[in-house]
Amino acid sequence: VAIAVFGLNSGAYISEIMRSGIQSVDDGQMEGGRSVGLSFSTTMMRIVIPQAIKNILPTLGNEFIALIKETSVVSFVGALDLYV
C-alpha cells in the first residue's frame, strides 16, 4: 500500500516538475528550432530539454530527499494501522 501511495504521490510531483521545467524555457527557442526546419521532437530533444534540465535537476533532487524522508515514516506505521 505504501509503495503505491508514495509512487503515485511522487509521480504527480515529478510530472509537475518536468512540465514547469519545460515551460521555463523561452518560447523563442522552440520557434527558432522550428524555423530552421527541425521537427517538434528534434527541437524538444536537442534544444528545449537540455535547457530545461538545469531548472529540473535541483527540484528533482529536493523531491528525492522528501521521498526518502516520507518513506521513513512508513517503518513506524504498522500494517494494522493502515487497514483499521
> 35: Cβ–Cβ under 8 A, 6 or more apart, which residues?
none
What pTM, to 2 d.p., does this model score? 0.80
Which domains can be identified in the chain, with CATH numbers? 2-83 (1.10.3720.10)
- CA nearest to 14, candidates 64, 55, 70: 64
Give the model's pLDDT for residue 84.
64
- Residue 82's pLDDT is what? 65
Place of cell 520557434: 31
Cβ atoms within 10 A of the Cβ of 63, count?
Answer: 15
Per-residue confidence (pLDDT) for residue 51, from 0 to 100: 96
pLDDT per residue as tens, the chain (84 positions): 788 888 999 999 999 999 999 999 999 999 999 999 999 999 999 999 999 999 999 999 999 999 998 887 777 776 556 666
